[in-house]
Chain A
């Protein structure tokens, strides 16, 4: 019987360059797939067999508590936020990926999506998804080429984001977790004039997705390199003001800094959104509730 790995020994560790973090993940899924398809010919009833039609690829996705006390290359916040900020702000297209390790499995992946939410009186949660193409440049050890390698085993690392890491077995208040109670999103509220009406924000969902382009060459399964191409960012804000002044080209919002804070108000995670445009306004109401409005802000990189 294989070793049974309980969740407390299955921490998720992400390494980007020289910095790494063990995240406060609440779930994680790993998949690894081959792409094969049957081939048929005329004059033959059955298939010739099933043959590869694309390189093997993997995907790792996980959800985690939005930890804000980490610092990577002097940027406050968790490593996924650091990675996303770095990619969308990069001028270099050649992507190096991030090493993800969980329960003995590991692989180098490219961030395909990242999102988090902030809601009133609630702990903020994030999620991230990586696509793993493998690498054709690591030639000496064949196993290092594959997108995902390893076998299930207990992780030899664990999160250490408590107030006092030395007292790891004691109960601590998670001061380093993003929380809606302590986050101010007034910079995103709708403000109408004549008469003045300023929105009250009830929640916000942030997401960004990245496109990566693996470059394959003849004679090799895995890509020689992978290029980051584009990113699209969006933020859905729930508030109580409907802006009917949406224009044909959207409403310019400009550059806004999103600061996610937790119980320790001296710490914050920052997301810089550039060239934001509002492209959508909606309002909805259900029984026993007020009319709530939603607006979608988007940016592209």
Chain B
């Protein structure tokens, strides 16, 4: 009988740390072999055309984070890779595993709504090796922290300019970290991967408004720029701050209003900013 590989036998390790709270992980690569067509074609020939890359997508619940004082910018391990740093890792499935090197975070997002545990999604590009049989021994993974630090909608804080009496239904933060691989002749991995600039940050909210006012569609800088946008995720039923997402001078990029006979009025608005690096 064929065996099943269920979630308890699956594990994601990045730079030696076992990522916790993983809801889904997917990895893929596509062959760059292209059909070489020619006049008088009489056989099918292939040759690699274009650089080979793989992708890794990870979705995690923010339930276990890096220990406080671990010497990193964020306690969410993936959020620490928005800069120049590359990572390598392993995906274990049953008794098998595949590995990858030179992974770079391409986009990171975190979202939460009423009744939910905040969830983070990371999309990564693998410029190095990917698969099996190509690598030396990887270090064994250690879970980053077995202690549950469950973030929660009920204890998070959202701080926008003059934003007090409106109920947030959900939000999401999206950070795009562009990567520019530089390929030279004679080598199949990039000679360098440049952390592109600027990084684009988009923050979307859905609220049930009380005193919130829709802004003027005509561009009015003092009304359409939020000087401070801070989302603080705390431990469930606690004041312990676990994660903070803070952005300055975000531009209001869209607003929409919904009203109906069977629901409260709601407003969706989106903020956008760019971070130079």
A residues with CB within 8 A of B? 7-12, 22-28, 62, 64-65, 102, 118-123, 155, 157-160, 162, 167-174, 177, 179-186, 200-204, 262-263, 288-290
- Take A181-B187, A288-B178 as given contacts and tell me if A174 and B40 are in contact as well, using a CB distance cutoff of 8 Å: no
Instruction: Flag if B45 contacts A7 (CB, 8 Å).
Output: no
Q: Note all chain B residues with C-beta closer than 8 A to A64.
A: 38
Q: Looking at chain B's contact residues, is the secondary structure mostly helix, strand, loop, or mixed?
A: loop
Set A22, A185, A263: member contacting B185, Cβ < 8 A: A185
Q: Note all chain A residues with C-beta closer than 8 A to B94.
A: none
Q: Which of B141-200 contact A (CB under 8 A)?
A: 178, 180, 182-188, 191, 194, 196
Closest chain B CB from A37 CB (angstroms) = 35
Q: Note all chain B residues with C-beta closer than 8 A to A263.
A: 47-48
Residue of B with least CB distance to A124: B47
Residue of A with least CB distance to B36: A174
Q: How far is the CA of A185 from the CA of B182 in the complex (A)?
A: 16
Instruction: Flag if B185 contacts A173 (CB, 8 Å).
Output: no
- Take A179-B47, A181-B186, A288-B180 as given contacts and tell me if A24 and B194 are in contact as well, using a CB distance cutoff of 8 Å: no
Residue of B with least CB distance to A237: B185
Closest chain A CB from B198 CB (angstroms) = 11
- 9 closest residue pairs by CB, A with B: A11-B40, A120-B183, A174-B45, A24-B38, A158-B42, A171-B44, A25-B39, A158-B40, A174-B47
Q: How far is the CA of A175 from the CA of B36 in the complex (A)?
A: 12
Residue of B with least CB distance to A159: B40
Closest chain A CB from B256 CB (angstroms) = 31
Q: Note all chain A residues with C-beta closer than 8 A to B38.
A: 11, 23-26, 64-65, 159
Q: Note all chain A residues with C-beta closer than 8 A to B188.
A: 121, 181
Judged by a CB distance under 8 angstroms, whether B43 is at the interface is: yes
- Take A263-B47, A288-B196 as given contacts and tell me if A121 and B186 are in contact as well, using a CB distance cutoff of 8 Å: no
Closest chain A CB from B186 CB (angstroms) = 5
Q: Looking at chain A's contact residues, is the secondary structure mostly helix, strand, loop, or mixed?
A: loop
Instruction: Flag if B36 contacts A28 (CB, 8 Å).
Output: no
Q: Note all chain A residues with C-beta closer than 8 A to B32.
A: 121
Instruction: Flag if B43 contacts A170 (CB, 8 Å).
Output: yes
Q: How far is the CA of A76 from the CA of B52 in the complex (A)?
A: 29
Q: How far is the CA of A172 from the CA of B35 in the complex (A)?
A: 10
Q: Note all chain A residues with C-beta closer than 8 A to B40.
A: 7-12, 22, 25, 155, 157-159
Residue of B with least CB distance to A27: B39
Q: Which of B1-47 contact A (CB under 8 A)?
A: 32-34, 36-47
- The contact sample of 12 A-B pairs, CB cut-off 8 A, is A8-B39, A8-B40, A22-B40, A28-B39, A162-B45, A168-B43, A172-B44, A177-B45, A181-B48, A290-B180, A290-B182, A290-B194
Q: Note all chain A residues with C-beta closer than 8 A to B51.
A: 120-121
Q: How far is the CA of A263 from the CA of B45 in the complex (A)?
A: 13
Q: How far is the CA of A64 from the CA of B36 in the complex (A)?
A: 10
Residue of B with least CB distance to A102: B39
Most buried by B among A7, A155, A183, A204: A7
- Take A170-B44, A203-B185 as given contacts and tell me if A7 and B39 are in contact as well, using a CB distance cutoff of 8 Å: yes
Set B42, B45, B180, B186: member contacting A180, Cβ < 8 A: B186
Q: Note all chain B residues with C-beta closer than 8 A to A289.
A: 180
Judged by a CB distance under 8 angstroms, whether B49 is at the interface is: yes
Instruction: Flag if A122 contacts B184 (CB, 8 Å).
Output: no
Q: Note all chain B residues with C-beta closer than 8 A to A102.
A: 39
Instruction: Flag if A162 contacts B43 (CB, 8 Å).
Output: yes
Q: How far is the CA of A184 from the CA of B185 in the complex (A)?
A: 7
Q: Note all chain B residues with C-beta closer than 8 A to A159.
A: 38, 40-42
Residue of B with least CB distance to A8: B41
Residue of B with least CB distance to A26: B38
Q: Note all chain B residues with C-beta closer than 8 A to A155.
A: 40
- Take A7-B41, A9-B40, A288-B178 as given contacts and tell me if A173 and B186 are in contact as well, using a CB distance cutoff of 8 Å: no
Q: Note all chain B residues with C-beta closer than 8 A to A9.
A: 40
Q: A25-B39, A121-B188 are in contact. List 10 more A-B contacts (CB 8 A).
A: A8-B41, A9-B40, A23-B38, A28-B39, A123-B47, A159-B42, A162-B43, A200-B182, A288-B178, A290-B180
